[in-house]
Amino acid sequence: MSDVYLSAQLPTNATAILSQAGISYEAFNQPGLITKEELIQRIHSTKVLITSLSTKVDQEVINAAPKLQLIANFGAGFNNIDVAYARQKKIAVTNTPLVSTTATAELTSGLIIALARRIVEGDQVMRSTGFNGWAPLYFLGHELAGKTLGIIGMGGIGQAVAKRMHAFDMNIIYTQRHQLDPATEAQCSATFVSQSELLKQADIVTIHAPLSDSTHHLLAASEFTQMKSTALLINAARGPIIDEAALLDALSHQRIAGAALDVYEAEPYVADAFTKLTNVILTPHIGNATVEARDAMGVIVANNAVAIFTDQTPKYIVN
């Protein structure tokens, strides 16, 4: 048993920091994801548990580690952890915010372009039936210039997406609980509207809100009826923000034109019906899956672990 347990393999820069600090650690290094039973067996003497977003840390797991002082989540989100119970047990929970911004904004931008211009669909055609040659009305997509992008959640990632897509001459509108200050709005070339107005106006809707009780199924059947029949939907935030059954119904009945999903309601499960639709792009939760972002996340979780053993306060405590 070690002082630090990693529920998944991390970038080598993270483990190098632990080694240089003289901290003993073990990591799950088997194929697939660690099971709850395996995790419980490994953490009896653990002081710091470093977890991936796919590792569920509930009350039973927390109770299995009586020496636990820190749960360092490798990810900006932390809905995989019972944060309230950890606080009750005086266990700090940290995440890795900010460093995912560029990677996730770039992926979102790529999904917007790929969906509007049917790039993935075109690739699938060329790998299967092929095409007979250029024709005036063949495989038409839509230009982004002059279209309206609606951003739900205008935090760091939402703002980064706004700046990138404004460069494509898109009109940017956004909605969230509180309006941004005028200077930030000007930097993003964005206009604040209600969610209802955003859904009515936007040609493309992209989600960048955190998952909470108030955002669970934020977009469901009634919201899809407000959107344009030509609208596209992007989700690289959290899966349960969308009611996937309602989304499937809207896509199947052409109430909206298409969707690109990087996250899923019951992740890693993906409803088979999505894979049958040609107007849907599916990616395996790769929003921040870049060498640069993951290395930066590794530095954060490792340094937070070191902080526990050097009587310092970890960064980015969420509880």
Active-site positions read 238, 267, 285
Residue 268: is the preceding peptide bond cis (ω within 30°)? yes
